[in-house]
């Protein structure tokens, strides 16, 4: 399915009978399920198993190129969502596949394109671009607020007061349901938000300030520790700058 979306557009929660390889040749997406949130910048794709309800938010203008796969087409793929790297070869194969008719000749050239895609998928390793979401409704509300405003600096105690709960109680539940402390979760949320903005061409300085950091150096140090690379490695200039 080749389709283009404007920044800010949201695909409402839905599910498919077939698994998906959700990819954008340009732009960055945030995909949400009941169990987690994934940021999908260019050069990445999200494997979405069949039957999982998910929503997609466009963090920038997105040129989406999605593939749908039958259950028996890729039995080696995981049964949970994974962010995968997309090589230049796989990218071109995905683009070509979206140009094929739905009923293509599996024994002709089109079949060879699809066979190459499956061969490429078989060897891919997932990337740590997931943000686990808690099941507790109160904590999900806090997490959603932070996804909407990742630069919010309030400590957990400030979030706990309007919920009529103690910070200690929420902290224990947060750790149990996500495997992360509140502080670690918020940092991961900021890292994923930064990746999306940087991949969309936002300046590093602006991203750092928007996410609540007092200096670019502090933001860059945090980002490098979490992502294993400096923010500049993730920044892709807008189309007009290329």
Q: For 85-121, what is each residue's pLDDT tens digit?
A: 888 999 999 999 999 998 889 899 999 999 999 999 9
Whether residue 202 is found in the same domain as residue 94: no
Inside any domain, residue 198: yes
Inside any domain, residue 43: yes
Whether residue 118 is found in the same domain as residue 202: no
Inside any domain, residue 128: no
What is the pTM for the complete model shown? Answer: 0.76
Whether residue 160 is found in the same domain as residue 91: no
- Among 99, 122, 145, the domain boundary falls at 122
Whether residue 73 is found in the same domain as residue 162: no
Whether residue 25 is found in the same domain as residue 73: yes
* Per-residue pLDDT at 241: 44
**Is the sign of the CA dihedral 86, 92, 93, 97 positive or negative?**
positive
Inside any domain, residue 174: yes
Residues whose CB is less than 8 angstroms from the CB of residue 46 and which lie 6 or more positions away in sequence, other chains included: 20, 21, 22, 23, 29, 31, 38, 40, 81, 82, 83, 84
240 — pLDDT class (breaks 50, 70, 90): very low
Whether residue 114 is found in the same domain as residue 31: yes
What's the mean pLDDT in 158-186? 90
Beta bridge partners of 85: 44
Inside any domain, residue 30: yes
The overall average pLDDT reported for the chain is 88
* Per-residue pLDDT at 128: 67
For residue 36, the domain's CATH number is 2.60.120.10
Residue 239 has pLDDT above 70, yes or no: no
- Among 122, 152, 187, the domain boundary falls at 122
Domain count, the chain: 2
Kindly state the DSSP code that residue 101 receives in the 8-state scheme: -
Long-range Cβ contact pairs of 148-156 (< 8 A, separation 24 or more): 150/186, 150/189, 150/190, 150/193, 150/210, 150/211, 150/212, 151/190, 151/210, 151/211, 151/212, 152/212, 153/212, 156/182
pLDDT in tens, 178-206: 999 999 999 889 988 888 788 778 899 99
For residue 155, the domain's CATH number is 1.10.10.60
Q: Are 147 and 189 in contact (CB under 8 A)?
A: yes
pLDDT in tens, 21-72: 999 998 888 899 988 888 888 778 999 999 999 999 998 889 999 999 998 8
Percent of the chain with pLDDT over 90: 46
What is d(CA 127, CA 53) in angstroms, rounded to the nearest whole number?
Answer: 21
Nearest to 56 by CA among 95, 27, 85: 27
Inside any domain, residue 176: yes
For residue 146, the enclosing domain spans: 134-241
Inside any domain, residue 192: yes
């Amino acid at each position: 399915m080749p389709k283009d979306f404007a920044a800010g557009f949201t695909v409402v929660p839905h599910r498919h009978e077939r698994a998906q390889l959700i990819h954008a040749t340009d732009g960055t997406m945030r995909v949400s399920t009941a169990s987690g949130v994934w940021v999908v910048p260019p050069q990445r794709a999200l494997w979405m198993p069949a039957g999982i309800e998910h929503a997609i938010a466009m963090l920038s203008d997105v040129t989406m190129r999605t593939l749908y796969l039958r259950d028996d087409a890729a039995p080696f793929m995981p049964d949970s969502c994974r962010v995968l790297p997309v090589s230049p070869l796989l990218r071109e194969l995905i683009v070509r596949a979206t140009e094929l008719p739905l009923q293509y000749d599996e024994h002709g050239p089109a079949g060879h394109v699809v066979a190459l895609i499956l061969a490429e998928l078989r060897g891919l390793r997932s990337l740590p671009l997931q943000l686990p979401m808690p099941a507790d409704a109160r904590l999900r509300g806090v997490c959603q607020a932070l996804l909407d405003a990742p630069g919010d600096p309030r400590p957990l105690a400030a979030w706990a007061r309007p919920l009529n709960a103690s910070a200690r109680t929420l902290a224990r539940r947060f750790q149990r349901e996500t495997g992360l402390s509140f502080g670690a979760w918020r940092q991961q949320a900021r890292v994923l938000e930064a990746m999306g903005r940087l991949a969309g061409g936002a300046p590093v300085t602006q991203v750092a300030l928007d996410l609540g950091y007092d200096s670019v150096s502090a933001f860059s140090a945090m980002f490098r520790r979490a992502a294993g690379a400096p923010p500049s490695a993730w920044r892709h200039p807008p189309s007009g700058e290329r």
